[in-house]
A and B are shown apart, each in its own frame.
Chain A
Amino acid sequence: MKKVLIAEDDKFLSNAYRVAFTHNDFEVQMAMNGEEVFKILETFTPDVILLDLIMPVKDGFETLKELKSNPTFKSIPVVVASNLGQAEDFEKAKALGCEGYIIKSDVDIDVIIQKAEEVIIAN
């Protein structure tokens, strides 16, 4: 079973993620912020991490930076799923090493699932 860790602070979106990914045979773990991502990673090794950028406590950029500089986690592909759509956000996330960047409002949820699957296969 494919495993996904989703960092999303909005409870409605979290809910949608959970439903959609579960429907598509994913084992889903949800984190509300960056801190929680690392807490979950202690016990759960996902095939892909879906990461929001604007989150409380520890934001997505910081989390991404830490993930990619951590030897244990840097091999886990990260897809940034944010509503920040400015070129500089995109470039910044790319520079920090994310494997994909999606603007949430521009895509249906199955496109995100498709992207997560693509990234897992590519990895």
Chain B
Amino acid sequence: MYSFRALFFTLFHRLSEYWNEFLNAEIKDRKFKNEYQREMHTLHLFSFIGAFFLFVYGFSQIQMGNPVIGLIEVCFGSILIINLGIFRLLGNLSIATTINLSLLLLLGILLLSHGGVYMTGYLWIHAFPPLALSLKPIRKGMWYVGGLFAVIVLYLILSYAPNPISVYSSAQLFHLSLSYIIITTISAYFSHALTTGEEEIITINRELRQERDTLKLQKLATQDKAEELNKYLMAVEHASEQMVITDPEGRILYANPKTQEITGFSRQDIMGTKAGKLWGDQMERPFYELFWQRIKTEKREFIGKVTNRRKTGQQYIAEIRVTPILDINHDIQFFIGIERDISKAVEIEHMKDEFISLVSHQLRTPLSAIRWFAQLLLKNNSENLTIEQHEFLTNIYESNLRMIDLVNNLLNISRIESGKIVVNVKSFSIQTLVSKILIDLTKSIEDKKHTLHMEISPDIPPIKTDPNLLSNIITNILTNSIKYTPENGTITVRIGLEESEIVCSISDTGFGIPPHEQQKMFEKFFRGENVVKVETDGNGLGMYLVKKFINELHGTIHFTSKVNEGTTFTFRIPIVIDTSEPSL
């Protein structure tokens, strides 16, 4: 609130604003500038008219033999002109007021001794304190006021002397000094009011400005927040998943449109009701016990699959995530539930599994029959076969083996890609595992007249990892080495234990992998361009599976290869040494 001082200052300030701004020559606005110019002209006009009359009157008084009166009038006229000049030329209020006050002080002294025109000096002197204290700051103004007061007191004292220098009597001077003090006091008060009022106004202004800035910022923040909230709301409203907010008891406070779409319940059905009475309550009791235990007692997120029911009664499978939102006291404020209808995905997954099973069983059964009958003919009836028939049967048998191999690889890929590979860690002897592999591969090694070097330490104790996957890895690499090495080649297998890793390297003297194709080595269906021409047999899945199996066992594999010189594959698989059982 404005105090009286502030109000007074404001009024005064408004009046003097134009003048000050004109003096400080800080007028930028053309419209205002024009207004000031008009005022300036008026001021000039009045000053010149005033000065003109004062000069005329002053000079006529001098001529009429009243030089002091005349001089006073001329001084007044001069003050008008000098001030005007200083204001115009320097634009400096301080200098102008100093000169002004000094001249007025001088006039005051002259007026005290000569009384002015028709003894008006007495009145003019009363005008000095308000003028001095309004034009100068109190302290400086008081010097001028005090100076004139000292002269008044001096004149008063001298009025008792035999030769008084003032035209006024002692009583008049006494009254003058009293009224001078009263006017000074009133002026000082108003001046003080002006100064403090200004400070107060500045403070109020600053506070108001700060308040305005704060409000502005708050408004912006509120706008931002509102926009952001709107964004969130839009996101939730248009989300492709069911989103529900409930109170700590599970009563639904909000449900997005997708909820209605998935469950078939209307907003009226949903609001304030518990999910159990709508789409839930399709699972066994222990499931819900575990669910509430998790979110309400442990205050942790629950993620799981749940069977729900639509309004029509149709069941569906949903993946749910329910998160408790806690306040600062760690109390549950509400729950946020996000559900996704995964019925279709589950169905597809199921179909995929069925397909794998179908391929696995239905394709392998006739392949087994071909294999076995071919084998029966080759082994049990070989004496009745011609050489040609034997050869043809062998072709059938081997092609069938390739087919079985392809089916097995495709099954493995399907399992890997659907994350269905189960790593079955067991304790086993690496030596036994390798010798079994070599027995299976003996025929193909002999057929190509390769020399096999085997370096495996008999000291390696039983290890723990997945023997099937490891066997698959070694078999696949070794089969490739045998296949892609020209006859009479050398194949070297080295197996050792380094700290807690089994390190296996398999080298051959084969065709090698061209450098520009080496980065594709472990890609699905990759076959080197140099071997495709030589060996038509091969599906490009073996090394892809090797890499995948090694990944499953957290191992690493790398190779070095030179065309027509050979390839060395080295892989490392972390294992645990089984100290509980003796070596097999």
- CA–CA, A88 to B365, complex, Å? 19
Q: Is B266 an interface residue (CB 8 A)?
A: no
CB distance from B453 to the nearest CB of A (A): 28
Q: A23-B380, A86-B415, A87-B422 are in contact. Are A108 and B369 (CB under 8 A)?
A: no
- CA–CA, A104 to B549, complex, Å? 23
- CA–CA, A117 to B517, complex, Å? 49
Pairwise interchain contact A105-B367, C-beta atoms closer than 8 A:
yes
- CA–CA, A86 to B412, complex, Å? 9
Q: Is B94 an interface residue (CB 8 A)?
A: no
Pairwise interchain contact A19-B376, C-beta atoms closer than 8 A:
yes
CB distance from B425 to the nearest CB of A (A): 12
- CA–CA, A20 to B377, complex, Å? 10
Q: Is A84 an interface residue (CB 8 A)?
A: yes
CB distance from B380 to the nearest CB of A (A): 6
- CA–CA, A54 to B357, complex, Å? 10
Tell me which of A84, A88, A103, A104 has the highest count of chain B C-beta atoms within 10 A of its own C-beta: A104
Pairwise interchain contact A83-B376, C-beta atoms closer than 8 A:
no
Complex interface: chain B residues within 8 A of A83 (CB): 360-361, 364-365, 368
CB distance from A72 to the nearest CB of B (A): 30
Of chain B, the residue at the smallest CB distance from A24 is B380
- CA–CA, A87 to B426, complex, Å? 13
Q: Provide the main secondary structure of the chain A interface.
A: helix
Pairwise interchain contact B375-A109, C-beta atoms closer than 8 A:
yes
Complex interface: chain A residues within 8 A of B365 (CB): 10, 13, 83, 104-105
Pairwise interchain contact B408-A85, C-beta atoms closer than 8 A:
yes
Pairwise interchain contact A16-B364, C-beta atoms closer than 8 A:
no
Of chain A, the residue at the smallest CB distance from B423 is A87
Complex interface: chain A residues within 8 A of B525 (CB): none
Of chain A, the residue at the smallest CB distance from B356 is A86
Complex interface: chain B residues within 8 A of A10 (CB): 365, 369
CB distance from A44 to the nearest CB of B (A): 24
Q: A84-B357, A87-B424 are in contact. Are A109 and B364 (CB under 8 A)?
A: no
Q: A19-B376, A85-B411, A110-B375 are in contact. Are A13 and B369 (CB under 8 A)?
A: yes
- List CB contacts (< 8 Å) of A60-88 with chain B: 82-88
Complex interface: chain B residues within 8 A of A108 (CB): 371-372, 375
- CA–CA, A110 to B373, complex, Å? 11
Q: Is B404 an interface residue (CB 8 A)?
A: yes
Complex interface: chain A residues within 8 A of B411 (CB): 85
- CA–CA, A93 to B380, complex, Å? 32
CB distance from A81 to the nearest CB of B (A): 9
1/0 contact string of B331-370 vs chain A (CB within 8 Å): 0000000000000000000000000110011001111110
Pairwise interchain contact A106-B360, C-beta atoms closer than 8 A:
no
For this complex, into which size category does the number of interface residues on chain B fall?
20 to 34
Complex interface: chain A residues within 8 A of B373 (CB): 12, 16
Complex interface: chain A residues within 8 A of B533 (CB): none
Of chain A, the residue at the smallest CB distance from B369 is A12
Pairwise interchain contact A105-B375, C-beta atoms closer than 8 A:
no
Pairwise interchain contact A13-B372, C-beta atoms closer than 8 A:
yes
Q: Is B420 an interface residue (CB 8 A)?
A: yes
CB distance from A120 to the nearest CB of B (A): 21
CB distance from A13 to the nearest CB of B (A): 5
Complex interface: chain A residues within 8 A of B372 (CB): 13, 16, 20, 108-109
Q: Is B285 an interface residue (CB 8 A)?
A: no
- CA–CA, A12 to B371, complex, Å? 11
Complex interface: chain B residues within 8 A of A105 (CB): 364-365, 367-368, 371, 404, 407-408
Taking a contact as CB atoms closer than 8 A, the residue among A13, A19, A54, A88 that contacts B422 in the complex is A88
CB distance from A16 to the nearest CB of B (A): 4
Complex interface: chain B residues within 8 A of A19 (CB): 376, 380
Q: Is B379 an interface residue (CB 8 A)?
A: yes
- List CB contacts (< 8 Å) of A13-50 with chain B: 13, 16, 19-20, 23
Pairwise interchain contact B420-A86, C-beta atoms closer than 8 A:
yes
Pairwise interchain contact A109-B376, C-beta atoms closer than 8 A:
yes
Taking a contact as CB atoms closer than 8 A, the residue among A12, A84, A86, A103 that contacts B366 in the complex is A12
Of chain A, the residue at the smallest CB distance from B422 is A87
- List CB contacts (< 8 Å) of A94-123 with chain B: 103-106, 108-110
Pairs of residues from A and B, 5 with the lowest C-beta to C-beta distance, nearest first: A83-B364, A12-B369, A105-B364, A16-B372, A87-B422
Name 27 interchain pairs, CB-CB below 8 A, sorted by A: A10-B365, A12-B373, A13-B372, A16-B373, A20-B380, A23-B380, A54-B361, A83-B360, A83-B361, A83-B364, A83-B365, A84-B361, A85-B360, A85-B408, A85-B411, A86-B360, A86-B420, A87-B424, A91-B424, A103-B364, A104-B364, A104-B368, A105-B364, A105-B368, A105-B408, A109-B376, A110-B375
B residues engaging A (CB < 8 A)? 356-357, 360-361, 364-369, 371-373, 375-376, 379-380, 404, 407-408, 411, 415, 420-422, 424, 468
A residues engaging B (CB < 8 A)? 10, 12-13, 16, 19-20, 23, 54, 82-88, 91, 103-106, 108-110
| Given A86-B360, A87-B422, 19 new contacts (CB under 8 A) | A12-B373, A13-B369, A19-B376, A20-B380, A23-B380, A54-B361, A82-B361, A83-B360, A83-B365, A84-B360, A85-B408, A86-B356, A86-B420, A87-B468, A104-B365, A105-B364, A105-B368, A105-B408, A106-B404
